[in-house]
Amino acid sequence: MKRSRYESYAYEGCPVEATLELFSGKGKGMILYHLLSGTVRFNELKRRLGTVTQRMLTKQLRELEAYGLIHREVYPEVPPKVEYSLTETGRTLEPILLALKDWGEEHALPTLLKEKRVVEFDES
């Protein structure tokens, strides 16, 4: 599990930073966003994310599980079947994730596109 960036979250505004820390990391926001639509198997999640390696995806999923945001279900069959879904706590992030998506489309992507730091994407 990654270490917290701060020793204390006892100051005003710290809950914002604490929240961001839980889902900051390579692909965590996208993982949570894709789980909004329901239960997803590991390989399907990896396909949807595209740029995240299997090792990094596994690491991020473990952290999200440790934070109680996602549930991992392993089925005892060959080959192994593993599914991920949001927990009740993770589900409470839905309005926040959708707001971040909307804000990103309106503000972040145009800024980053202007700076040529991202490639345009197609949601289809």
The residue length of the chain stands at: 124
Q: Which two tokens stand for residue 107?
A: 């503000």
Residue bearing the bigger pLDDT, 90 or 119: 90
What's the maximum distance between 2 C-alpha atoms anywhere in the chain?
A: 50
Whether the pLDDT of residue 28 is over 90: the answer is: yes
Distance CA 33, CA 11 (A): 29
**What's the pTM value of the predicted model, to 2 decimals?**
0.82
Tally Cβ neighbours within 10 Å of residue 86: 23
pLDDT tens digit string along 38-76? 999 999 999 999 888 999 999 999 999 999 999 999 999
Helix runs in the chain, H state only: 14-23, 28-35, 42-49, 54-66, 88-91, 94-103, 109-114
